[in-house]
Each structure stands twice: as C-alpha cells, then as structure tokens.
Amino acid sequence: MSVYSWFDDCPDRKDRPSLKWGKYSGRDILPLWVADMDFRAPPAVVDTARKEAEFGNYGYAKCHPELTDAVLEYTSRLYDWKIDPNWIVWLPGMVCALNVCCRMQQDNASQVLTHVPVYPPFLSAPGNFDLTCTQLPLRLQGNRFSMDFELLEKTPTQPGDLFLLCHPHNPVGTAFTNQELERFSRWAEERELLVCSDEIHCDLLLEPNLKHLPLANLNPKIAESTITLMAPSKTYNLPGFGCSFAVISNPDIRLRFKKAMAGIVPDPPAMGFRLAEIAYRQGEEWRQALLKYLRKNRDFALERLHKMTGLTPYSPEATYLLWIDARELKAENPHRFFEEHGVGLSDGSDFGSPGFLRLNLGCSKNLLGQALDRMERACSSMVQK
C-alpha cells in the first residue's frame, strides 16, 4: 500500500466501539470532533500489535529497557533534549497526568493558571481538587494566537502555584517560539511557579521550518520547576493503548508527583509499552508522510473555510486541529447548527470559548471534503435567511 493510500483508505469505525464514530452512530453526522485520527497506525506498529496479540499472554507489564532507550534516542534526535532515564515516569494517559499535577498541589497552593481557550481537562482538573482555575485569554495577533504577556505580568500569583501550559497549543494550533518560551519561563521563574508543560502534540509541527522546543530544555532553571508530558499517542494514533510519560528532572517534584499517583494510577498496558517503542523506533517515514497529508488537509480546509460567510478559521502551525470563530454566523449555537447540517465538530464552549468550533483534520481528504461541502451548504443557508 502506498503511503498516500495508507491515509486515504481509513478503516471503517462506524460499528466499532469508537468514541469518535460512536457518538453519531445511526445518524448521518460526519465526526470531526475528538482528537484521534481516522488513519491506521504506522505499518510496523500494526505488525507488532498483531504479533503481540497472537502471543496470547496479557499479564502485567513493566517498561522495558529498549523502550527507555527509544525514548532517549527520540527526544535527543528530534529535540536535542538529553534526558536521564530516572526522570521518566510512565502513565496510562495525559488527562490523568494533568489531574496528578493538580492533586500534588492540594496541600501547597490554591491556584492553577492556564491559557484559554484550551483543551477542556485543563479547565476541569483544578476543580477536581478544589483548586481555583485562573483563565488567561491568549491574545490574537494577526491570524495567530500568542501569550498575552501584559496580562501575565498583571496576574497575581503565589510561589508554588501551578501553570498548566499546552505546548503546542490545543485548540489554537500555536507552536510557541523560542522568544515566547524564554519570556514565559522568565516570568514563571520570577514568580516561582511550578509548570506542567503538556507537549503531547509536539511531534506534529506542520511547517517544515518550525522546530519544537521543549520548555524544560530552554535552560536548567526552568527545567528544575517543569513537569513535561509527552506521548506517542497523538503522533502515531495510539491513544487507545494508553501509554504516556512525564519527564521530571527535579527529584523533589518527581517524588511529589509519584506520591500523588500512588494507589490510583495504574501502569500502561504491555501493548502500550511495546507499541510506543516501535512507533518511536520505526515510525519516522510514516510521521513525515502524515505531516505532508495533514498539511494538505489543512490547506484544503482553510481555502474552503475562508470562503464560507460567517466563519473565520485560524491556520494551525501544529497538530491536526483547526480552530474556527463562528460568532459572525449568528447561529444561536454553532455546534448544534453544524450537527443539524451533518457535521460533528468540537464545541468551543468546552474550551472556554463559546461561539468557536474545533475541526479535526485527521481524516481522509475525501471525508474532509464531504464535511466541508456540508458546512458550505449550512453557511449559505444562513446567508439566505
């Protein structure tokens, strides 16, 4: 199968126990919402999954040394980031890791800060532990969302408060630059904040000239107060196998993080560990082909969306999620409006931005085209009213 048909020809998940497709089961609504992609995982991953399944024993698992080596080699090759094996803490998911970060703050601080809009668990995790969540709106500069440093300067904080950073950013698709990260880290250091940098989307920078910069790799000082979250799950489309990791160089913070996990957070499953290793070791050719495919889907969608009256799309620099301002459409509820016209998008209200929508580009161009046709007809019907 050629690389392109690999992405054009997606497995049919209509009758599968799939979160994305199951939501609209039995209804003619194309699901372009939750952040998983419709594509098959890389061929080497699929082969390994088959062999592991046939092995027939599914006992408790433990991270194997080859996986640690694969992670160290990967972070070094892609990000020039040299990490120590002792800094790695494995977890079955990133939402769980965001909640662990908040849990470890329970006795130390009361405030969690984050940018909005943002991936919904950033907004809900603090409340799960009776912490207040301070939402700091990103600032739109031209067609790109960036951090609002004036607002950061004005915001009161206490030493030890937690900042949940999404880098690259879901849903707005910003890949923060070196300057932005430097300025952010100076501010966080001055305020003595703990930072959780969720970098789950970091392998999916769509512009070939952009390079992801792990926050903790900027300088040793910020590394001392940063918990970095990474995973192969978004990049290689393995979220169903629950395998992610935190990188925490500061031993005291690592200990607090592990204490907050104790007795609650299970290890990833054996299949997750094994597939993570194969994805990191053998997935590069597939990842490059994926990036090309996503870039084409993004450009195709932007061209169409820009022509739809009432919608303002923002071009993502990273990942397969496209943020759209639908407030000009004058639909009472844009999310429901598009569902009624056969397209299931993510509702901006869940991200802290009512009137906005998030479209998932991780699907075949054919499906994307059908969804855009429906959206175009829906927008035209509003104009004609």
Note the residues at the interface with ligand PLP (CB under 6 A): 35, 93-95, 119, 166, 170, 198, 200, 231, 233, 239, 244
CB of 124 vs ligand PLP, minimal distance in Å = 12
Q: Which is nearer to ligand PLP, 229 or 329 (CB)?
A: 229
Q: Which is nearer to ligand PLP, 95 or 289 (CB)?
A: 95
Q: Which is nearer to ligand PLP, 233 or 249 (CB)?
A: 233
CB of 36 vs ligand PLP, minimal distance in Å = 8
CB of 178 vs ligand PLP, minimal distance in Å = 21
CB of 34 vs ligand PLP, minimal distance in Å = 7
Q: Which is nearer to ligand PLP, 236 or 337 (CB)?
A: 236
**In the block, which residue shows the tokens 């920078």?**
205
How many other C-beta atoms are found inside a 10 Å radius of the C-beta of residue 291? 18
Q: What tokens were used for 48?
A: 């390994």
Q: What tokens were used for 79?
A: 């990000």
CB of 93 vs ligand PLP, minimal distance in Å = 3
CB of 370 vs ligand PLP, minimal distance in Å = 23
Q: Which is nearer to ligand PLP, 165 or 308 (CB)?
A: 165
92: preceding bond cis by omega (within 30 degrees):
no
Name, in order, each residue with C-beta under 8 angstroms of 347's C-beta and a sequence gap of 6 or more: 335, 357
Q: Which is nearer to ligand PLP, 119 or 273 (CB)?
A: 119
CB of 97 vs ligand PLP, minimal distance in Å = 8
CB of 120 vs ligand PLP, minimal distance in Å = 9
Q: Which is nearer to ligand PLP, 33 or 337 (CB)?
A: 33
Q: Mind spelling out the 3-state secondary structure of the chain? A: CCHHHHHHCCCCCCCCCCHHHHCCCCCCCEECCCCCCCCCCCHHHHHHHHHHHHHCCCCCCCCCHHHHHHHHHHHHHHHCCCCCHHHEEEECCHHHHHHHHHHCCCCCCCEEEEEECCCCHHHHHHHHCCCEEEEEECEEECCEEECCHHHHHHCCCCCCCEEEEECCCCCCCCCCCHHHHHHHHHHHHHCCCEEEEECCCCCCECCCCCCCCCHHHCCHHHHHCEEEEECCCCCCCCHHHCCEEEECCCHHHHHHHHHHHCCCCCCCCHHHHHHHHHHHHHCHHHHHHHHHHHHHHHHHHHHHHHCCCCCEEECCCECCEEEEECHHHCCCCHHHHHHHCCEECEEHHHHCCCCEEEEECCCCHHHHHHHHHHHHHHHHHHHHC
CB of 14 vs ligand PLP, minimal distance in Å = 22
Q: Which is nearer to ligand PLP, 114 or 217 (CB)?
A: 114
Name, in order, each residue with C-beta under 8 angstroms of 220's C-beta and a sequence gap of 6 or more: none
Q: Which is nearer to ligand PLP, 171 or 342 (CB)?
A: 171
